[in-house]
Amino acid sequence: MKVRSRSRGRNLIQLYTLLNITRHILVRGAAAAALAVFTSCDKKPEAAPVTGSSSSGRGASTAPKVLRFSAIPNQNATELKAKFDPIASHLSEELGVTVEFFPSADYKASVEAFKNGQIQLAWFGGVTGVQARAAVPGAQAIVQGKEDPDFKSYFIAHKDTGLEKSATFPAAIGTVKFAFGSESSTSGRVMPSHFIKQNTCKGEKEFFTAPAIFSGGHDKTVEMVSTGAVQAGVCDYTVYEKMVKEGKVDPVVVKVIWVTPGFQDYNFTAHPSLETDFGAGFTDKLKGALISITTKAPELLKVFPREALIEVTNKDFDTLEKLCREFGIVR
């Protein structure tokens, strides 16, 4: 009995000792873990390595840079992408860089995208080009269509108005419901408004007895006149003629009643970041690649549509810029 009792006592002592040791190990381990958490909060995290750059290509990334371009959405935006994607392919081949078409929601968005560096090239109207270049010092108008230095607008009217084509300004449109295109459209608002004032000595707000509306696009203006939503409007002459040719509008129903004098309009404007993103002299290469469409890929001219693409400079838009400042469109 005594031997068995002493043996049981030794076992209990050994068990107690083992539990005590285990407890110390656990406590010390927990304290170490807590200390590690505490000190990790004080320690500054190591900076992540720089592996890329912004989309504008100004960082140290080795990823290929992409040239993005857009066009003012003077017609259906979906159709514009389908039309301009082949232009992107041509430029990619000619320049040896990736070129992508970047759609814009409206005229203002296209200027903002250029201003913010989201796009480095844009097919602007005369006014939006002036706005973009005013917002981005160093931006250059580089290419336009052969027809663009002498562009025109068509004043159109529904046949039920009884208005017919005339060499004199149709002052009678002042009493009907009228539609411009976009508010910052050269051929769909700014120049037509200029000609209204030139011929009537009245601004657009004083000239129209009912406030004119803005359709947002040349094709929309033509459609609105065609359906009778408005009785008259003004649009880009190339859009009207294309719609007639494609059977989208009946010229007997939607009549051209006055053709404006010529004015400077559409152009490709290049962002100055092209020189830093793709190397010195790249803007001139881009200009050459665009002009080469006339001889190397003439089928692409229908995208604009133009007979040919030619060189242009900022100075060619001096008169339009002055008018834009008078309108308060550019400050």
Contacts 24+ apart (CB under 8 A), 302-309: 303/83, 303/84, 303/86, 303/87, 304/123, 304/145, 304/238, 304/266, 305/238, 305/242, 306/145, 306/146, 306/147, 306/148, 307/145, 307/146, 307/147, 308/145, 308/146, 309/143, 309/144, 309/145, 309/146
The pLDDT value given to residue 45: 38
Residue 143's pLDDT band (cuts 50, 70, 90): very high
- In this predicted structure, the answer to whether residue 54 has a pLDDT above a threshold of 60 is no
DSSP code of 48? Answer: P
The pLDDT value given to residue 317: 97
In a domain, 177, yes or no: yes
- d(CA 309, CA 304) in angstroms, rounded, equals 10
- d(CA 254, CA 181) in angstroms, rounded, equals 16
Does residue 115 share a domain with residue 159?
no
- In this predicted structure, the answer to whether residue 17 has a pLDDT above a threshold of 70 is no
In a domain, 9, yes or no: no
- Candidates 237, 245, 186, 176; CA nearest to 212 is 176
Does residue 317 share a domain with residue 275?
yes
Domain stop point among 240, 259, 278: 259
Does residue 289 share a domain with residue 229?
no
In a domain, 8, yes or no: no
Does residue 224 share a domain with residue 178?
yes
Domain stop point among 233, 259, 285: 259
Does residue 269 share a domain with residue 143?
yes
In a domain, 183, yes or no: yes
Does residue 177 share a domain with residue 84?
no
Domain span at 103: 66-148+265-327
In a domain, 127, yes or no: yes
Does residue 221 share a domain with residue 79?
no
Does residue 197 share a domain with residue 229?
yes
Number of domains within the chain = 2
Does residue 156 share a domain with residue 143?
no
- In this predicted structure, the answer to whether residue 83 has a pLDDT above a threshold of 70 is yes
The pLDDT value given to residue 327: 84
- In this predicted structure, the answer to whether residue 44 has a pLDDT above a threshold of 70 is no
Domain stop point among 259, 276, 294: 259
The pLDDT value given to residue 77: 66
Does residue 173 share a domain with residue 80?
no
In a domain, 44, yes or no: no
Q: Which residues pair with 214 in a beta bridge?
A: 180
Does residue 106 share a domain with residue 169?
no
In a domain, 295, yes or no: yes
Does residue 127 share a domain with residue 200?
no
Tens of pLDDT, residue by residue over 186-245, are 999 999 999 999 999 999 999 999 999 999 999 999 999 999 999 999 999 999 999 999
Mean pLDDT of 96-122: 95
Q: What angle do CA 81, 267, 295 make, to 5 degrees?
A: 80
The pLDDT value given to residue 229: 98
**Which domain CATH number covers 271?**
3.40.190.10
Q: What is the pTM of this model?
A: 0.76
In a domain, 277, yes or no: yes
Token pair listed for 6:
């002493």
